[in-house]
Amino acid sequence: MKGTIRQATQLTAWKKAASPLLTLALATLLAAGTLFTPAAATTLDSDRDSRLGVSQPGQFTSKIVGGTNISISTAPWQVAIIDRRASSNFNGQFCGGSLISSEWIVTAAHCLVDGSLETQPSSIGIQVGNATLSTSRLSVLGVSTIEVHPNYVSWGNNHDIALIKLSNPVSFSSSVAPLSIYRSAVAHNTLAYVSGWGQTGMTNNSGFVYGSRFPTILQGTNVYVSDDNCWGQGVSGFNSTTMLCAGTLDWMNDTCQGDSGGPLAINVSGTNYLAGVTSWGYGCAWLTPGLYTKVSNYASWIDTYVGVAPVDFVSSPNPTIEGYAVVGQTLTANAGDWDPSPSFNYQWFAGSTPISNATGSTYTVARADRNKTITVSVSATRSGYVSTTRSSSPTALVSTTMPFPTAGTPSVSGSLVAGQTLTASTGSWSPTPRFTYQWLSNNAAIRRATGATYVLTSAEIGKSISVRIIATLSGFTTTTVTSSPTAFVTAGLSFTSSPNPTISGTPAIGQTLTANPGSWSPEPTYSYQWLSNGRAISGATASTFLVASSYAGRSITVQVTANRAGYAATSRTSSAVAVPRR
């Protein structure tokens, strides 16, 4: 790193600023060709698009100190601090800084303090809106004020932050834009972006430089911010209250001499923030992370000079509506999780029209809202933040009935064989409605098939079956749901043995007759229907039949129907027995 060396307990810690005189000397050496040949940059293709605000994967990427050439539009908040004694901006640049308003710049205190002496505003100038340091001329903006943090001391690294005020405000553009001050804790492994014109060669903890050079074009790269543990590195001098720790897993991304005072920028929900100020470290990309002044710790101090310009909320979700868009029902606005937490005001709308006096977090749907959608807007306010309004998605059209809270999905069970019985299941409903049924064959209604069960006929062979149910209940929306179609109905297998049944017992009034189905193969289950003179006797569906006096002089038969999964339902009828007259 360029700049002052200080002794630490075990290692040598370097501040990442270049003194103006050292900058001039290095520039002379560079012109004479006496510096080390710069190491080649190792850059992954994916890193060429690594810019603040572009989503990156949660893993580290490999790149040498200084990163790659970037345009000023990539980091339009970046400024160069120039020694006015120099002949050109390149020869005079010794630190960086970040625009935080049209007049104010945040930088590192050690850039502006030498021992007990503080840099005078007239001795420095500022380059803004340009990624290239001119090697032929000096062109800078004037400085009117320098404010160094009152607790900073030049022999330490704490409170390494200062403010510079421009003599005249700048106009914002794609090349000149401020960073917002980040006022919250930075989460572990947050992707950040550093930039500057500092040295691009690795530097060991003794100050030896590998591949040193100072670029004329602004450099930028990604790093990741660690938590208070600093990746377990145990960095001597690290203070988690006043500093941030950032780097990459292979320690090949870092800031270096000449980058001091520059930005450690993060992007949260589309807004760019200044989270850290390049401060110090043990070497550059030398197996340890870089150390940065934690800006959130100094937000109040900055505000005393700059004033508190409103900033955007870190998180500002759209609200949602809970409840049913039904006359008489209560809707509730859920504002979501805002960061930081604000105060909320509400306004409900019917269609696009604000509803008079509907300014609470809940709203009871009125009869006048029928056939309109309901939305709610939530306005968030908090001191220091831009007042923000978000709107919900619209509800369904308001009706006078509400949907069932729980609506079941119907299904069909049973053997898909002609002659077999299918059963409709309605699923779980709450509250319990009244159901009507319609059976469908290839989605076409089957005549008179309107019960909870249906006996398949030969007409359904080769077709799929489904059932449509209609749920009705007073106060609730009539709901129609259809089951998924079954596989195709088949004729089924034939029983290898299917004898006619026989009747045992005396065919006389008061006597009991018994149906004997015979020996079927394979074994089925049986159902029975007794007949009188060939007509079914109501309720006579057991295997036995008590002959009543009304059947005197009649012929009695029994029909046995055999059922088995995968087999065609088969009916056989017995021979008749005659009941004598009295």
Point out the residues that are catalytic: 110, 160, 260
Q: Which of 311, 284, 282, 283 has its CA nearest to residue 295?
A: 311
DSSP string, 242-306: TEEEEE-TTS-----TT-TT-EEEEEETTEEEEEEEEEEESSBSSSS-EEEEEGGGGHHHHHHHH
SS3 content of the chain, % helix, strand, coil (to 5): 10, 40, 55
Element (H, E) at 362: strand 362-364
250 and 105 in contact (C-beta within 8 Å)? no
* Cis-peptide, bond into residue 522, ω within 30° of zero: yes
What is the C-alpha to C-alpha distance for residues 439 and 445, in angstroms, rounded to an integer?
6
In Å, how far are 210, 405, 409, 434 from 484, measured between CA atoms? 71, 22, 9, 21
116 and 318 in contact (C-beta within 8 Å)? no
Is the dihedral angle over the CA atoms 266, 268, 271, 273 positive or is it negative? negative
What is the C-alpha to C-alpha distance for residues 115 and 105, in angstroms, rounded to an integer?
22
* Cis-peptide, bond into residue 150, ω within 30° of zero: no
Q: Which of 482, 539, 548, 487 has its CA nearest to residue 513?
A: 548
Element (H, E) at 91: helix 89-92
In Å, how far are 55, 224, 289, 499 from 58, measured between CA atoms? 9, 9, 18, 75
Neighbours of 518 (CB within 10 A): 16
The DSSP bridge partners found for residue 434 are 472
Neighbours of 331 (CB within 10 A): 22
What is the C-alpha to C-alpha distance for residues 542 and 556, in angstroms, rounded to an integer?
14
What is the C-alpha to C-alpha distance for residues 1 and 46, in angstroms, rounded to an integer?
28
Q: Which of 338, 357, 336, 358 has its CA nearest to residue 348?
A: 358
Encoded amino acid at 155, one letter: W
